[in-house]
Structure 1
Amino acid sequence: MITKAELKGFIDISYKEAGIYENTKFEKIHNVIFKNSDDASIVIAQEIAALIKEKQAKQNYCVLGLATGSSPIKVYEELVRLHKEDNLSFANVIVFNLDEYYPMEITNVQSYHYFMHEHLFNHIDILPENIHIPDGTVSQKDLYQYCIDYELKINAVGGLDFQLLGIGRTGHIGFNEPGSHPNSGTRIITLNHITRSDAAEAFFGIENVPKRAITMGIGTIKKAKRIVIMAFGHKKAPVVKEAIEGAIKSDIPASYLQEHKNTTFVLDQEAAGELTRIKTPWIVEPCIWDEKIKNKSIAWLSQKVQKPILKLTDKDYNDNGMSGLLAEKGSAYDLNIDMFNKLQSTITGWPGGKPNADDTNRPERNTPHKKRVLILSPHPDDDVISMGGTFLRLIEQKHEVYVAYQTSGNIAVSDEEAIKYAEVAKSMSLENVGNVNIDAIIAELKRKKENAIDAIAIRTLKGLIRRVESLGATRFLGLPDTHVSFLDLPFYETGTVKKKPYDEKDIAILTKLIRDIKPHQIYAAGDLADPHGTHKVCLDILFKVIENSKEEEFMKDCWVWLYRGAWQEWDIHDIEMAVPLSPDEVLKKRKAIFFHQSQKDNVMFQGDDTREFWVRAEERNKDTAKKYHKLGLTDYAGIEAFKRYYF
């Protein structure tokens, strides 16, 4: 067994070198912060591998508690790589999984049994008899005894050496929902609506998500000798703050880990965003007042005391932990003027640059006056949802605009919507649409079982639906069809929510497009709410293309602007270009979104936000405009915001 001293040494070396490693008076659980979830996952896998090897050297079993969901996927990928490339053996490993939906067949692709075999067990040398996953097929009458037996099996091998956890937005660990007792053991539990909502995408709608699950209890988890809990993405930030800095309470089950002496939260930057030392470091300790921290703190102060920036006083700064900024940078008056001017300079009605104007304090260059612009849209509606007003401005200001839809988006079309389109085609006496036989596809849709993977013909039809909707929107904005590309990147085309890792084929497709257009501007989705979602993969592909092509002559004159989706906006201090929208432009943007009819009234993957996408987008743009106005700037109907990616 690894001693606490040895384990502490490993943490200090591996985590401290790879991430931000620090505790403050506000934090009650040890945590480390990484630049991204991939780096964090690799280091977690390294800790698990070190523990396995330590146990092997002593000829002992290594007992692991493992989690499912999107967060641990990269951890399992790295463990598989270590097995295949570095000969890491799992022959001495015994696994107990945290949970399983109930009822749930093990052959169901949504089952955690399927998940674990797909991502880990099928690719390593673990003995089948050493795999323990809660059984979602146990009869109701045998369930109580089954849960007791699961606990006894864990105890029989000496308990868990290492427990890997994720955290849900309700604060749940495993499926221990709010209200769970700190001494609870393995049991059946009713799932919270938010938990089911978060799982809805994988089940093609919340109505298909089971309402109950079998889970290890909090008491079982807390008995583990070592616990690592992962949290990635901005959606986890509020609950991470509560779990790490808040009081221990049943409303946030993860807060019970404050009582465990060997727990580490492993976070990416977005999940850590609400921690006091990240959000307002000047409150925690004296800080280095670089430009980023200075701008962030002044925007925060203005919003906190509810005053326009130009009305902030020395007292406001001193009363809110910012006396050091005054001492170092000067009076409130000077700081306020500087910050106000910076914010004002981000606002432009000319996203492609204003011709024949001084661009010294403008976000974009004024030359060339007519730019080649490439808008990348991960799904076939992200362009108009996220930057429809800017899209319209770029066209109206005579830039050479192109849009490329990176994926087909076919998985987001419901079967009912597909049948509707197919029956319209049939009523027009069409036998085939896009090489798809209409009668065959209608029959296939009507006999399709719930949650079954779409056949290729169905996916083709659903992809065509998204295409014609996209063309309707781009034509409405005034873009010629010849400037619209449908890339259908291969990583997406699995027919399921789970996508393949991107590879050279995906990179080659985007590389060719960019080399053909040679854009002066690229707009891309920078919304990384889901670290394993389509937006992130599409952005990773773009970053790879940029890395491979940045020395080419045309790339030296190319600027990349990142927009965000319908759920989230850039923080004020991060915005580098703010494009104001008039009431008329807000209305035109709304109409462009309406062309995506398959996504309007019956959205399959909208999470726990029941608003339609056009409402989310409109309210987000209005909220950004209100924030600017409250800081003392002009009042607009809406603002679309962008952050530049520097390479």
Structure 2
Amino acid sequence: MSAIQTLTYVKPGKYETTRFEKIHNEIFKNSQQASEIVALEIAELIRSRQAKNKLCILGLATGSSPVKVYEELVRMHKEEGLSFNNVVTFNLDEYYPMTKENNQSYHYFMHQHLFNHIDISPENINIPDGTVAIQNLNQYCVDYETKIKKAGGLDFQLLGIGRTGHVGFNEPGSHINSGTRIITLDHITRVDASSDFNGIDNVPKRAITMGVSTILASKRIVLMAWGQNKAEIIKRTVQGDINSEVPATFLQNHTNTTFVLDQSAASELTRFKTPWLVDDCIWTPELKSKAIVWLCQETKKSILKLTDRDYNNNGMSDLLAQEGSAYDLNINMFNVLQHTITGWPGGKPNTDDSNRPERANPAKKRVILFSPHPDDDVISMGGTFSKLIKQGHEVHVVYQTSGNIAVTDDEALKFAEVANDFIGNNEGIINFPNIINFLNNKSENQTDSQDVRKLKGLIRRRESHAATRYIGLEAKNIHFLDMPFYETGQIKKSPIGADDIAMVAAIIEKIKPHQIFAAGDLSDPHGTHKVCLNAILSAMKQLKPNPFMNDCWLWLYSGAWHEWEIHDIDMAVPLSPEEVLLKRHAILYHQSQKDRVMFQGNDSREFWVRAEDRNKHTAKLYDDLGLAEYQAMEAFKRFDY
């Protein structure tokens, strides 16, 4: 089957294993692979229209989802001669009001990622104008709609999806017959955009958007979604009933739509979440663990109380038949989960470690704790961090980025004014009068000056020193990489480069750790965790021939946005009430991040509250399964690199 055929509409009868699903979808290992397939379909469409001497009318989307598609189209244009001289584009939406020059505008986005790099005629580019006077807006929207129809309608519409279920900016309540119009943005949509605008107060409250009927009139629709944050809305859209509260469900009425998803975005679909409810399964140890934990939660029973009837009534009769009895299944799974719990995250010396998550030897280990931002260490594993130090291991914390983007202008101005009061006009290393003048006169979209970025990074750095000092770490074991990919002065970062990987590899080679702890949560709103993890994995791959790497284990902690599922946890470290309090106080040393978190994602709680609630919830899940009851737990997943 060719790449294009992979995305051709499949009639429902041909995919029995997805009988819960009402929209055809294709699942890929990662967004890169999926994006290349989508770009290939678009390229084939453009070429086929060129062969017939016809225009190709494309509906285009913005946001993070299509970026890699545009990168691949640009590559095909430059390396394979793909021409866009017959292409006419219509963008879905634009913030209102919004100037074209604003680097948050979709006009800016499209030119930056696509139009500036291909041979499309400027007159063939159509993007809603965020500067149209309000009294002329209705007519402008009618004219935009008319222009699409006069072009012959959209041959292909590329879509993303918001957590509200919006396509374009058709927010909940949008009608199936709606056309291009101005709309008020849902609060959740504005929260999700806040990281791009340096806070929700800067996000426009309205937008111009193509309507649902305009989108549904497209001959072909491909919707893309990546990451865990999109998993729940994808499930509601693909498996739920058509409902204006989830406008994307209207796509169920379209006969040539495909959802292109990565594994994380597809993870809540029934065939992935609970495949035993769909068809017979191959019962791997991982799937068995997932199913039994789910069964406990479904029946509200602890593991050792599950009965044969529980298994039979919940789609797991074949597992029961394979294993023989509920008793055998239950006791085996109880032991598996029991063995993940340890109060010795670096391994317990002079103890049989055959049923422990970590090795007993060497008794004193060298440990690197990688922290993408200057507070992920204490937020995600502050209790474990403290235990490792108290249990005598040589712990090093490595902050991968400066975190300066997450410091507000007001916070930086406060520090600059205090410093200036102390030193007067003596510039020293940083020119504080210039910083104060810059911040007081900073214009919209202006990138921070080098001095401002230096100050904001210094604020985060000193907060990290204070927090780790409180935890008990010696200053000589604190390392700041300030990886170059991050240092753009903007929300958008540079691609990871050889220098970034070399920095990570150098610190690993210097310390020669037995354990590496790294952020495995890829759901942070601006992608830094993913880039930092990729740098670690690339560095470890380079270093793998070194003998010391044979003794190096990689443990992934989850960040501030999601916790590992119980069945994915390989090491659960219990925290006492005193350790929970110690962790809270360590997080609170990061004062620049308190009260108004700039990159909070879809959770309005402060980081210390999220962390505490999450750790207590993990402990409760273990308790509900019939294991020991603890105040809180931090969880880790072993990763074989």
Q: TM-score, normalised by structure 1?
A: 0.96
Alpha-carbon deviation of 1:427?
Answer: 2.1
2:359 is the alignment partner of 1:365: yes
1:562-610 CA-to-partner distances (Å, cap 9, x unmatched) read: 1111221001000001011000000000011011000012222223422
- Distance in 2, matches of 1:73 and 1:11, equals 23
The residue aligned with 1:318 is 312
2:564 is the alignment partner of 1:570: yes
The residue aligned with 1:583 is 577
1:331-385 CA-to-partner distances (Å, cap 9, x unmatched) read: 0000000000000000011111111111101111111111110011110000100
Q: Residue 20 of structure 2 contacts residue 270 of structure 2 at CA under 8 Å; is this kept in 1?
A: yes
- Distance in 2, matches of 1:317 and 1:627, equals 20
Deviates more, 1:539-548 or 1:279-288: 539-548
2:37 to 36, 43, 50: 43
1:396 to 371, 381, 390: 390
| Structure 2 counterpart SS, 1:428 | helix
- Distance in 2, matches of 1:589 and 1:282, equals 40
Alpha-carbon deviation of 1:545?
Answer: 1.3
The residue aligned with 2:613 is 619
Q: Residue 311 of structure 2 contacts residue 317 of structure 2 at CA under 8 Å; is this kept in 1?
A: yes
Alpha-carbon deviation of 1:238?
Answer: 1.0
| Structure 2 counterpart SS, 1:556 | helix
- Distance in 2, matches of 1:434 and 1:501, equals 33
Equivalent position amino acid for 1:149 in 2: D
Alpha-carbon deviation of 1:32?
Answer: 1.1
Q: Residue 84 of structure 2 contacts residue 119 of structure 2 at CA under 8 Å; is this kept in 1?
A: yes
2:443 to 446, 449, 473: 449
Q: Residue 23 of structure 1 contacts residue 31 of structure 1 at CA under 8 Å; is this kept in 2?
A: no
2:219 is the alignment partner of 1:264: no
2:81 is the alignment partner of 1:63: no
1:211-231 CA-to-partner distances (Å, cap 9, x unmatched) read: 100000010001111111011
Alpha-carbon deviation of 1:551?
Answer: 2.0
Deviates more, 1:217-226 or 1:543-552: 543-552
The residue aligned with 1:347 is 341
The residue aligned with 2:495 is 501
Q: Residue 29 of structure 1 contacts residue 244 of structure 1 at CA under 8 Å; is this kept in 2?
A: yes
Distance 1:632 1:162, change over 3 A: same
2:209 is the alignment partner of 1:215: yes
1:436 to 424, 430, 446: 430
Distance 1:434 1:495, change over 3 A: farther
2:275 to 264, 269, 281: 281
Equivalent position amino acid for 2:640 in 1: Y
After superposition, residues 170-319 of structure 1 pair within 5 angstroms as 170-319=164-313
- Distance in 1, matches of 2:348 and 2:424, equals 49
Alpha-carbon deviation of 1:533?
Answer: 0.7
Alpha-carbon deviation of 1:430?
Answer: 5.4
- Distance in 2, matches of 1:153 and 1:547, equals 53
2:552 is the alignment partner of 1:558: yes
The residue aligned with 2:113 is 119
- Distance in 2, matches of 1:344 and 1:510, equals 34
- Distance in 2, matches of 1:23 and 1:324, equals 17
The residue aligned with 1:630 is 624
Distance 1:172 1:22, change over 3 A: farther
The residue aligned with 1:155 is 149
The residue aligned with 1:3 is none
The residue aligned with 1:145 is 139
Alpha-carbon deviation of 1:432?
Answer: 5.8
Q: Residue 339 of structure 2 contacts residue 356 of structure 2 at CA under 8 Å; is this kept in 1?
A: yes
Alpha-carbon deviation of 1:305?
Answer: 0.5
1:28 to 22, 46, 49: 22
- Distance in 1, matches of 2:391 and 2:425, equals 43
Q: Residue 491 of structure 2 contacts residue 526 of structure 2 at CA under 8 Å; is this kept in 1?
A: no
Distance 1:22 1:165, change over 3 A: farther
- Distance in 2, matches of 1:583 and 1:530, equals 28
Deviates more, 1:232-241 or 1:333-342: 232-241
Q: Residue 23 of structure 1 contacts residue 30 of structure 1 at CA under 8 Å; is this kept in 2?
A: no
Q: Residue 233 of structure 1 contacts residue 531 of structure 1 at CA under 8 Å; is this kept in 2?
A: no
| Structure 2 counterpart SS, 1:125 | coil
Q: Residue 581 of structure 1 contacts residue 638 of structure 1 at CA under 8 Å; is this kept in 2?
A: yes
Equivalent position amino acid for 2:341 in 1: I
Distance 1:291 1:484, change over 3 A: same
Q: Residue 22 of structure 1 contacts residue 31 of structure 1 at CA under 8 Å; is this kept in 2?
A: no
- Distance in 2, matches of 1:531 and 1:173, equals 19
| Structure 1 counterpart SS, 2:423 | coil
The residue aligned with 2:457 is 463
Q: Residue 172 of structure 1 contacts residue 253 of structure 1 at CA under 8 Å; is this kept in 2?
A: yes
Q: Residue 296 of structure 1 contacts residue 573 of structure 1 at CA under 8 Å; is this kept in 2?
A: yes
1:292-328 CA-to-partner distances (Å, cap 9, x unmatched) read: 1111000000011000000000010011011010011
Deviates more, 1:216-225 or 1:522-531: 522-531
The residue aligned with 2:633 is 639
Distance 1:379 1:15, change over 3 A: farther
| Structure 2 counterpart SS, 1:580 | strand
Q: Residue 525 of structure 2 contacts residue 601 of structure 2 at CA under 8 Å; is this kept in 1?
A: no
The residue aligned with 1:52 is 46
Alpha-carbon deviation of 1:14?
Answer: 9.1
Deviates more, 1:261-270 or 1:32-41: 32-41
The residue aligned with 2:76 is 82
- Distance in 1, matches of 2:420 and 2:226, equals 46
1:545 to 530, 539, 552: 539
Alpha-carbon deviation of 1:208?
Answer: 0.8
- Distance in 1, matches of 2:390 and 2:583, equals 14
Deviates more, 1:573-582 or 1:59-68: 59-68
- Distance in 2, matches of 1:15 and 1:354, equals 55
Distance 1:387 1:433, change over 3 A: farther
Equivalent position amino acid for 1:116 in 2: M
The residue aligned with 1:480 is 474
Equivalent position amino acid for 1:305 in 2: T
- Distance in 2, matches of 1:153 and 1:140, equals 20
Distance 1:54 1:434, change over 3 A: farther
The residue aligned with 1:490 is 484
Deviates more, 1:331-340 or 1:73-82: 73-82
1:384 to 356, 378, 396: 378
Q: TM-score, normalised by structure 2?
A: 0.97
- Distance in 2, matches of 1:278 and 1:9, equals 23
- Distance in 1, matches of 2:42 and 2:534, equals 27
- Distance in 2, matches of 1:82 and 1:451, equals 32
- Distance in 1, matches of 2:428 and 2:614, equals 37
Alpha-carbon deviation of 1:39?
Answer: 1.6
1:478-512 CA-to-partner distances (Å, cap 9, x unmatched) read: 11111111111111111111111111111111111
Unaligned runs of 5+ in 1: 1-5
Matched residue count: 637
Alpha-carbon deviation of 1:452?
Answer: 2.5
- Distance in 1, matches of 2:480 and 2:633, equals 28
Alpha-carbon deviation of 1:23?
Answer: 5.1
Equivalent position amino acid for 2:250 in 1: Y
CA RMSD of aligned residues (A): 1.6
| Structure 2 counterpart SS, 1:65 | strand
Equivalent position amino acid for 2:522 in 1: L
Distance 1:59 1:532, change over 3 A: farther
The residue aligned with 1:131 is 125
Equivalent position amino acid for 1:25 in 2: R
Alpha-carbon deviation of 1:35?
Answer: 1.6
The residue aligned with 1:511 is 505
| Structure 2 counterpart SS, 1:346 | coil
Alpha-carbon deviation of 1:443?
Answer: 1.0
Q: Residue 233 of structure 1 contacts residue 530 of structure 1 at CA under 8 Å; is this kept in 2?
A: no
